[in-house]
Amino acid sequence: MFAVLKNLGWFFSRERKRYLIGIIMLAIVGVFELAPPKLLGDAIDRISSGTITFQALMYYTGAIALIVVIIYGITYIWMHSLFGGSNLVERLLRKRFMAHLLRMTPPFFERSRTGDLMARATNDLRSVAVTVGFGMLTLTDSTVYLLTVLLAMGFLISWKLTLAAILPLPFIAISMAIYGKVVHSRYTLAQDAFGDMNDQVLESIAGVRVIRAYVQERQDEKRFTHITNDVYRKNLAVALVDGLFEPTIRLFVGLSYIIGLGYGVYLVFHNQLTLGDLVSFNIYLGMMIWPMFAIGELINIMQRGNASLDRVNETLAVKPDVEDIAEPVHVEHPDEITFDDVVFRYPTSTVDNLQHISLRIQAGETLGVVGRTGSGKSTLLKQLLHEYPTGSGELNIGGVPIQHIAKDELHSWLGYVPQEQILFSRSVRNNIRFGKSDASDEDVMAAIRTAAFDTDLHTFPEGLDTIVGERGVALSGGQKQRVSLARAFIAQPHILILDDALSAVDARTEARIIENIRTERAGKTTLIATHRLSAVEHADHIVVLDKGSIIEEGTHAELLAAKGWYHEQYERQQVSDSLDEEVS
Ligand code: ATP
Ligand code: MG
């Protein structure tokens, strides 16, 4: 049941001082709280025996007032330590969670759903934090405090009466344990459902344009109603057990009162107890209600925390699909890239997505990758990112197998413009500086000129400070592509990978960018995948892919002479290009 606390042992030992202070203060408050009932009992005894004086009355009220003030101060300290710790653990865990997500490679994100990950990072971590704060409080109150009250009842009043009154206690513990188990399983289901719902919301919002365009609003609403109903039902199931905790405890506490009062009056009649003692005892019994509730709360909250922490840990336990080896090899000159009989398959694929690829790209060369859609162009380029476990064959950079290169080092050489651009909702400048955080405005402008984005930039009233909107919604497709290009250019990477990065710009702009790339990147390696053959005409070597295999390769001239797929495609594009010219 306390797995969650054990699991967070590192945190408690790190914050040992905080918790020690908190718990000791809580215990001290418990002791102080014992005094007023006893003082009250004594006062009543003196009233009933007629020995009370004005001075004595002043003493009793003064003492009680003083104790209340002390309790006020101490309570502040423990509240501050315990609940402050709960916020701290939430922050630490969330940081760890995020850092973990950033280490993960694409296969992980293909398996997980964003909404569910978000639910874990928010809802579940909150629940763990509550467990740490409120759980610690209830843990202390249901043990230390309960014990203090019990000892006070026994020693100050009567052990006989105390033992009789706590007879129902074990039953509370037993029923709480039973409820706790149910809460755990139901709460896990409820949190899972919440994750599903999050996912659906995310998808609907991201796809709202498509949903509208296809008039699927009703359909989507229905799906959403369905899933919120699911969340509702599962949380209702939790609430049903939740609701049992309190009445059950009240039942047994009521029993305690009956025993305490019945047996207490009996003892008073037999002169084994004074009236004042009975009053004090009943106040102590009242003070036991909270610790008994605390037992229930403790179990309830621990089980929720366990369920949530299990979900968080499940994510944290996932190892990156591609991990650095223990002693990575440092590559002096990451120049030559060689593929030697590389066969690769995505983890979820049933066929080989690259078949027997052998290639040699010398330093400073430009490689063109063409082929029909789905032929494996992106897959081939992405091999260099080493995002997926490698297949058979060997891929070397600078003579070192890619598995032996540290990922950070590998990525420091690469500039990558993916087929789907990802921009962040920041300014144009900051999106570009993403490639090189210390870049000056001149650097940014130079990269923008290389990417032929300068003419567009003039049309933005705020220039570099223009905010591109979420994922770049405020830019056109071609503008997004060129901002992505500039982001890759600015770092002047050793190896530049352009995956269909010019597909959304017109032929003239494309020609300009290609020309810039040729001059700017002379002596550096560039890999270009494209559907438009004009973008690779200048390449030193061109490969044509089909179903993951190289079916033709050579220079532009050689491939034209071979009269294969490349030639045919080239002719077709020439015709359509000249048609375009006539139209425009
Ligand atoms: P396009 O011209 O449309 O960009 P492409 O040549 O870049 O196509 P790839 O994206 O490399 O094609 O895809 C090659 C094959 O690999 C396709 O059959 C595709 O279904 C499969 N594939 C791509 N990505 C994944 C993935 N993450 N998991 C499983 N299969 C994938
Ligand atoms: Mg592709």
- Residue 102 and residue 164 in one domain: yes
| Ligand 1 touching residue 373 (CB < 6 A) | yes
Q: Whose atoms come closest to the Cα of 547: which ligand?
A: 1
CA angle 497, 501, 464 (to 5 degrees): 100
Q: Whose atoms come closest to the Cα of 357: which ligand?
A: 1
| Ligand 1 touching residue 376 (CB < 6 A) | yes
| Structure tokens given for 255 | 């029993």
User: What value does the CA radius of gyration of the chain take, rounded to a whole number of Å?
Assistant: 36
Residue 194 burial by CB count (10 A; 0-12/13-18/19+): exposed, middle or buried? buried
Residue 449 burial by CB count (10 A; 0-12/13-18/19+): exposed, middle or buried? middle
If we measure between CA atoms, which residue out of 308, 281, 325, 319 comes closest to residue 153? 281
| Ligand 1 touching residue 353 (CB < 6 A) | yes
| Ligand 1 touching residue 346 (CB < 6 A) | yes
Q: At which of 265, 282, 316 does a domain end?
A: 316
pLDDT at 582: 64
Nearest-angstrom CA–CA distance, 204 and 139: 42
| Ligand 1 touching residue 51 (CB < 6 A) | no
Residues 221 and 211: beta-carbon distance below 8 Å: no
| Ligand 1 touching residue 348 (CB < 6 A) | yes
Pick the residue whose CA is nearest to atom 1 on ligand 1. 373
pLDDT at 287: 87
Which regions of the chain are under pLDDT 70?
Answer: 580-584
| Ligand 1 touching residue 374 (CB < 6 A) | yes
pLDDT at 489: 92
What is the CB neighbour count within 10 angstroms for residue 222? 11
- Residue 463 and residue 506 in one domain: yes
- What 8-state DSSP symbol labels residue 422? -
Ligand 1 atom closest to the CA of 379, numbered from 1: 11
Cα(346) to ligand 2 centroid in Å equals 14
| Ligand 1 touching residue 391 (CB < 6 A) | no
Q: Whose atoms come closest to the Cα of 531: which ligand?
A: 1
Q: Whose atoms come closest to the Cα of 388: which ligand?
A: 1
pLDDT at 470: 80
Ligand 1 atom closest to the CA of 377, numbered from 1: 6
Cα(442) to ligand 2 centroid in Å equals 32
Pick the residue whose CA is nearest to atom 19 on ligand 1. 374
- Residue 344 and residue 261 in one domain: no
- Residue 283 and residue 355 in one domain: no
| Residue at 180 is within a domain | yes
C-alpha neighbours within 13 Å on the C-beta side of residue 348: 6
- Residue 343 and residue 312 in one domain: no
pLDDT at 172: 86
Ligand 1 atom closest to the CA of 373, numbered from 1: 2
Mutation pick for ligand 1 pocket among 108, 343, 349, 503 (CB with most ligand atoms within 8 Å): 349
Nearest-angstrom CA–CA distance, 114 and 532: 34
pLDDT at 584: 59
Q: For 80-102, give one letter per residue: b (16+ CB within 10 A) or e.
A: ebbbebbebbbebbbeebeebbe
CATH code, 300: 1.20.1560.10
| Ligand 1 touching residue 349 (CB < 6 A) | yes
Host domain of residue 257: 3-316
Q: Whose atoms come closest to the Cα of 545: which ligand?
A: 1
Nearest-angstrom CA–CA distance, 398 and 332: 8
- Residue 264 and residue 348 in one domain: no
CATH code, 393: 3.40.50.300
What is the CB neighbour count within 10 angstroms for residue 576? 10
Residue 408 CA to chain centroid, in angstroms? 22
- Residue 103 and residue 247 in one domain: yes
| Residue at 146 is within a domain | yes
| Residue at 322 is within a domain | no
Q: Global pTM? A: 0.80
| Residue at 329 is within a domain | no
| Ligand 1 touching residue 107 (CB < 6 A) | no
Cα(194) to ligand 2 centroid in Å equals 34
Q: How many domains does the chain divide into? A: 2
| Residue at 150 is within a domain | yes
pLDDT at 331: 87
pLDDT at 581: 65
| Ligand 1 touching residue 162 (CB < 6 A) | no
| Ligand 1 touching residue 344 (CB < 6 A) | no
Mutation pick for ligand 1 pocket among 379, 417, 498, 527 (CB with most ligand atoms within 8 Å): 379
Pick the residue whose CA is nearest to atom 3 on ligand 1. 373
Pick the residue whose CA is nearest to atom 8 on ligand 1. 374
| Ligand 1 touching residue 377 (CB < 6 A) | yes
- Residue 423 and residue 494 in one domain: yes
| Residue at 326 is within a domain | no
| Residue at 207 is within a domain | yes
Q: Whose atoms come closest to the Cα of 371: which ligand?
A: 1
- Residue 383 and residue 254 in one domain: no
- Residue 43 and residue 121 in one domain: yes
**Strands (DSSP E) found in 384-447:** 392-397, 400-401, 414-417
| Residue at 530 is within a domain | yes
| Ligand 1 touching residue 549 (CB < 6 A) | no
- Residue 285 and residue 368 in one domain: no
- Residue 353 and residue 484 in one domain: yes
Cα(346) to ligand 1 centroid in Å equals 9
